[in-house]
Copies of this chain bind each other. A is one copy, B any other.
Amino acid sequence: MQVVVLAGGVGASRFLAGLVSLIRPEQITAVVNVGDDFEQLGLQISPDLDTVLYTLGGLVHPDQGWGRADESSNALSAAAALGGPDWFFLGDKDIGLHLVRTNRLGAGERLSSITADFARRLGIGIRLLPSTDDPVTTMLETLGGTFDFQTYFVRRRHTDEVDAVRYEGAAEALPAEGVLDALATADLAIIAPSNPFLSIGPILAVPGIADALAERRGPTAAVTPIIGGRAVKGPADRLLRRFYGEASPVTVAEHYRDLITHMLIDSADQDELARLKAHGIRAQAVDTLMSDSAARARVARAVLELAER
């Protein structure tokens, strides 16, 4: 069996960790968002790819869910003392990775090739693909101005009400090598519990990817990022209310209409099962909070079992 997972950052990485504990890593392909990639201090930073790398490589800060454990921030402090920006936290070990990536990108190597090499060096057996090797930047239009993802999310602490989300560069981007093939041939496709607009949206905006998902013969299952009307992390709930009037598994399913056949929702939302059924979605409710490795395995197992129905 082959499984392909569309993935954002923390939630997706925890889900992938659960999946890796159930099936062989060689059975898993992750297609990861690059819409929040950005540059600081000249470093090319790919936060979602790095969160997957650090989580599956056993290096992640366990509570935080992103960044590395046992980090120091001496480089960032020294840079700030010399006038450099420090609103986006960069640990020293993390900077080591960014330096290698930035240097190799500068030498003309593709992001997908560098990512594959990093995964191999960190002993990660799954196939880890950026959605595209081309630049895609998630832009948020707000009354306060139009911001790239990190400016909106980190610098302005995602407090601006979002009027529109655009994926700059997506129309001209090509899916990275292997992405469309994985989507077409996988026995199961999974949309991880990531922000539908800010993590999954930029993946689906790359021409060919949404079509490949829509044309699949096998099941495609989404794991809800919403529990009881709230996002586990970040502004997914606010964006769903803004664009669909309600933050619930049903509006997530509406957002993914024509793309998914199955949906795993949280026990807190089991009243929604009937509405999802009316939308033609086969759904199941379990405890979806992935607080520890047992919970991650439980959620991943629930998706695998649900997709067999």
Contact = CB atoms under 8 A, between A and B. Distances in A.
A97 B121 contact: no
Contacts of A71: 74
Interface stretch (A26-34, A88-96, A186-194): A88-96
A144 interface: no
Contact of A72 (B42, B74, B84, B102): B74
A168 to B, nearest CB: 21
A171 interface: no
A74 B42 CA distance: 19
A212 interface: no
Interface residues of A, number: 33
Given A82-B121, A84-B96, A121-B83, A42 B75 contact: no
A160 B122 CA distance: 37
B42 A106 contact: yes
A103 interface: yes
A78 interface: yes
Given A42-B103, A99-B42, A92 B117 contact: no
B79 A97 contact: yes
A41 interface: yes
Contacts of A81: 96, 121
A77 interface: yes
A216 to B, nearest CB: 34
Nearest to A73: B92
B72 A99 contact: no
A115 to B, nearest CB: 11
Given A42-B102, A74-B74, 13 more contacts: A41-B99, A71-B74, A72-B72, A75-B75, A75-B95, A78-B94, A79-B97, A79-B100, A82-B121, A83-B121, A84-B96, A84-B99, A95-B99
